[in-house]
Amino acid sequence: MALTLADKKQVVSEVAAVAAEAHSVVTAEYNGLNVGELTELRAKARDGGVYLRVVKNNLAKIAVKDTDFECMQSSFVGPLIMAFSQEDPGSAARLIKDFAKEHDKLVPKAVSIGGELLDVSDLDRLASLPTRDQALAMLAGTLRAPLDKLARTINEVPGKLVRTVAAIRDQKEANA
């Protein structure tokens, strides 16, 4: 069933709103995936905070116009599914990369982050970015390290005194 003009406008406005807020986007050719596999992909996307949408290429070009992902317009060729990272920059890349490992019919075509069109080979690099929780944990560890070192240094002074007194005691007991 063909989309009416009102339906097309709604799709464009929905995708444009998501694109304006997204951290990154990955497009992939899904030709050959069956309905069950696409349903599985959509379920994983919902769980991972990824907005997934099949959009006609002309509508996708209109939707990403005047966003950070305008640079991707030339790569919109063939049947594509668009995955927008909404929570952290690497979530869409992780989703597409992991799903493509299991289903060879899903082929990544373009990757963009921060207004820059990346090569498809950079999908692995983007997928390896830490999640928000992982990044916060790394930051907390980095901030905590100097405090831990200070505590160990301060604790070492009385420890060294105790070891020195114990050594003097042992030496006096050996001489007695």
pLDDT digits 0-9 by tens, 72-123: 888 888 888 999 988 888 888 888 888 888 888 888 888 888 778 888 787 7
Q: Where are the beta strands (DSSP E) in 86-149?
A: 107-113, 116-118
pLDDT tens readout for residues 119-164: 878 777 777 777 777 778 888 888 888 888 878 888 887 888 888 8
Which of 37, 20, 36 lies closest to 28, judged by CA? 37
H or E element that contains 28: strand 24-29
CA distance 130 to 74: 29
Q: In degrees rounded to 5, what are phi and psi of residue 27? A: -110, 145
Give the pLDDT of residue 1. 57
H or E element that contains 80: strand 80-85
Give this prediction's pTM.
0.70
Exposure on the CB side of residue 63, measured as CA atoms within 13 A:
26
